[in-house]
Amino acid sequence: MLRMRVPALLVLLFCFRGSAGPSPHFLQQPEDLVVLLGEEARLPCALGAYWGLVQWTKSGLALGGQRDLPGWSRYWISGNAANGQHDLHIRPVELEDEASYECQATQAGLRSRPAQLHVLVPPEAPQVLGGPSVSLVAGVPANLTCRSRGDARPTPELLWFRDGVLLDGTTFHQTLLKEGTPGSVESTLTLTPFSHDDGATFVCRARSQALPSGRDTAITLSLQYPPEVTLSASPHTVQEGEKVIFLCQATAQPPVTGYRWAKGGSPVLGARGPRLEVVADASFLTEPVSCEVSNAVGSANRSTALDVLFGPILQAKPEPVSVDVGEDASFSCAWRGNPLPRVTWTRRGGAQVLGSGATLHLPSVGPEDAGDYVCRAEPGLSGLGGGAAEARLTVNAPPVVTALHSAPAFLRGPARLQCLVFASPAPDAVVWSWDEGFLEAGSQGRFLVETFPAPESRGGLGPGLISVLHISGTQESDFSRSFNCSARNRLGEGGAQASLGRRASASFSEQKNLMRIPGSSDGSSSRGPEEEETGSREDRGPIVHTDHSDLVLEEEGTLETKDPTNGYYKVRGVSVSLSLGEAPGGGLFLPPPSPLGPPGTPTFYDFNPHLGMVPPCRLYRARAGYLTTPHPRAFTSYIKPTSFGPPDLAPGTPPFPCAAFPTPSHPRLQTHV
């Protein structure tokens, strides 16, 4: 009965008191709290108008009503209970303390709002894999990995720094050690190091809300890199022929193991070490010198070309050019030098500059443009190099024919007419023609034609030919008629007329036996060529008669020696030598000397026994297709005819009359009539 009355009395008491004062209420309620692991957490709670029992709950579990909270060694309640202060303290905070807490006034039936306690775990110092010294190879991409381990809450952020500057290009990878718990965090920095990064310090920082300043771990890069080469030349600008020293300097990790030198890609034999000494020439301008340095990681190469000053060097000669009349012609030549040479063009034998540069252009050329053209480069500053190269311009045109001077002939004696032919292209034929006939080659009656190559061509006019018309047994009509020498090629025809001069004396067959040969007793002239050609009759010595004849053969006068080739060939007396010797029929073949007078007087020969007789020999005969003469020095140059045989003689005509004598054992004398 008593037990039933107690609750009723308590209700009446509260009702009485309520009517007497304020009801219990919270003056301060706990709020969410974030605290670092190991530090102290304080959750405040204050009640007004309540003097009853106050307790705290942790995630719904009552911690007890006593102030020291037995069984919870790190927990206690503080404050003045009479004043309604009931604060909950936790020290040191551990991870298990993270929960929801409430302050309850049990007897008043009051509960505070829940307060969430968050426990923060600061990150530990991160670990950089491979540290504290990380070995990398310069130029090879690599990764630096930073890892934060432990139960850090919240998950930390990993950052990379170099020299206090935040680096970009980082990536993060999160790994859970087991479900529901944060795991380790990794950050990977991707970089391509270079040699200047050797010894650099990189910092990985782990930071979070629990530790805003973060914790750092530093590592040092130790780089291996191939040699870095610097190549220098002293002096760099040099005259050809001077000495130059190349110096090859290198930094490398690990150290340098070897040097290799090359020039223009070809190894320099015997070159060792970082120093090379050479003597500069023009090739060093276009063939650089290179130095290759090696170590265990790799190799590096550097090269440099010298600025070599040298005189002009001919690289490409001008080529001969052949064009038809009216066409354009051009020549090209190439010189190299440092500095670049000045190239000029002139004509051989002339001083006028026709052009400059690598190419000479000649528009619409004519025969007068034919000749040799010279490409010239002046020597360089050193005085070395330079020079000239020439090429011939051949202008294809109709043949140019010139009648050469021929010696006067005796009636019924041998005679010879000559013409000089220049033509490009070479003439198809050279033809001699007269009143009753013509002849290109070989013999016809009293006539025979031979053609010889000239020893040299007239500049640019093509090869030269000498055509000789031999006449056996001249007749009266031969001295009055004109003989025409003509040549033709694909561009046209050219010709010249020649006439035969006559000696004013008895006919050849009626002459006596004396002929004077100016000169010494050994058959050689005692005067120079000019005296022989231009001497007067009085200079020729006395006339000596023999017992065999009272007739002395005298020359009518001095023969004029004009040169129709303007200096290209020397025309002298009866024969035009042209380095060929006397052509057949152009001079008399003499027997060994038989002087009739004392030494030093003109030499005479007795022809009487031979006059009027038919020579037992022919001046020309065929042998292996070549023309031959009675004496080995009759000619020094001749061409091979396509065919040749004995002359076709008219009935009763002697075959090429000649003075027949015993074959001399000495060289044939040349007579100037």
The secondary structure of 163-183 as a DSSP string is: TTEE-S-EEEEE--SBTTB--
DSSP 3: H
Give the number of other Cβ atoms within 10 Å of residue 12's Cβ.
Answer: 10
Asked which of 472, 497, 522 is the last residue of a domain, the reply is: 497
List pLDDT tens digits, range 85-96: 999 999 999 999
Element (H, E) at 14: helix 2-20
- 520 versus 491: the higher-pLDDT residue is 491
> In this predicted model, which residue has the larger pLDDT, 588 or 386?
386
Rounded mean pLDDT, 261-282? 92
The pLDDT of residue 418 is 94
Q: How many residues does the chain have?
A: 673
CA–CA separation, 253 and 247 (whole Å): 20
Mean pLDDT within 433-461: 83
First-residue to last-residue Cα distance in the chain? 194
Of the three residues 271, 304, 337, the one that is the final residue of a domain is 304
Of 393, 422, 442, which residue sits at a domain end? 393
CATH number for the domain spanning 271: value is 2.60.40.10
- Clarify whether residues 204 and 64 are in a common domain: no
Residues 198 and 236 in one domain: yes
560 lies in some domain: no
Q: Are 364 and 400 in contact (CB under 8 A)?
A: no
- With the C-alpha atoms ordered 605, 608, 609, 611, is the resulting torsion angle positive or negative? positive
Mean pLDDT along residues 544-553 = 33
- Cα gap 389→663, rounded to integer Å: 50
Peptide bond preceding 7: is omega within 30 degrees of 0, i.e. cis?
no
Tell me: do 44 and 84 sit in the same domain: yes
- One domain, residues 163 and 203: yes
Residues 159 and 297 reside in one and the same domain: yes
The answer to whether 223 and 298 have CB atoms below 8 angstroms apart is no
Query: 36-40, 234-238, 454-458: which has the minimum mean pLDDT?
Result: 454-458
Assess whether pLDDT exceeds 80 at residue 435.
yes
pLDDT at residue 78 in the model: 94
Res. 420 pLDDT band, cuts 50 70 90? very high
Is residue 176 one of the residues assigned to a domain? yes
- pLDDT for position 181: 54
Give per-residue pLDDT as tens, 322-380: 999 999 999 999 998 888 889 999 999 888 999 999 999 999 999 889 999 999 998 86
* Beta strands at 552-553 and 514-517: parallel, antiparallel or unpaired: parallel
What the block records as the tokens of 400 is 């140019």
Q: Please indicate, yes or no, whether residues 138 and 237 belong to a single structural domain of this protein.
A: yes
> Closest by alpha carbon to 458, among 390, 387, 402, 406?
402
How far apart CA 375 and CA 322 sit, in angstroms, is: 17
Residue 578 lies in a domain: no
Beta bridge partners of 652: none
**Same-domain status, 386 and 418:** no
Q: Are residues 110 and 232 in the same domain?
A: no
Q: For residue 245, give its domain range.
A: 121-304
More confident residue, 455 or 451: 451
Q: Tokens for 245, please give them.
A: 């020293």
Instruction: Evaluate whether residue 627 is within a structural domain.
Output: no
Residue 26 has a pLDDT of 93
pLDDT tens figures, 575-616: 333 333 333 333 333 333 333 333 433 333 333 333 333 333
Give domain status of residue 6, yes or no.
Answer: no
The continuous run of DSSP H or E covering 225 comes out as: strand 211-234
Rounded CA gap, 562 and 483, in Å? 19
**383 phi-psi bin (left φ>0, alpha ψ -120 to 50, beta other):** left
Q: Which residues pair with 376 in a beta bridge?
A: 344, 388
- Asked whether the predicted pLDDT for residue 537 surpasses 60, the reply is no
Give the least confident one: 50-64, 98-112, 353-367, 600-614. 600-614
Give me the mean pLDDT over the 114-131 stretch: 91
Instruction: Select from 457, 420, 399 the least CA-distant residue to 571.
Output: 420
Count of structural domains, the chain: 4
On whether the CB atoms of residues 613 and 519 are closer than 8 A, the answer is no
Question: Is 632 a domain residue?
Answer: no
Q: Are residues 147 and 75 in the same domain?
A: no
Residue 531: its H or E element: helix 529-534
Cα angle value 87/92/96 (rounded, 5°): 90
Q: 429 and 377, same structural domain?
A: no
Residue 5 has φ and ψ, to the nearest 5°, of -85, -20
> Are 167 and 254 within one domain?
yes
Per-residue pLDDT, averaged over 35-63, amounts to 93
Residue 241 falls inside a structural domain: yes
Q: What is the pLDDT of residue 459?
A: 61
Q: Are residues 514 and 602 in contact, defined by beta-carbon separation less than 8 angstroms? A: no
pLDDT of 174 reads 67
Query: Position 27: which residue type?
Result: L
Q: Based on the fold, state whether residues 44 and 70 are members of the same structural domain.
A: yes
Partnered with residue 324 across adjacent β-strands are: 396
Average pLDDT for the chain: 74
Q: Is 600 left (phi over 0), alpha (psi -120 to 50) or beta?
A: left
* Structure tokens, 643: 């065919």
Evaluate whether residue 569 is within a structural domain.
no
Residue 303 tokens read as 């090269």
Q: What is the three-class DSSP state of 664? A: coil
* Residues near 340 by beta carbon (within 8 Å), at least 6 away in sequence: none
254 prior amide bond cis, ω within 30: yes
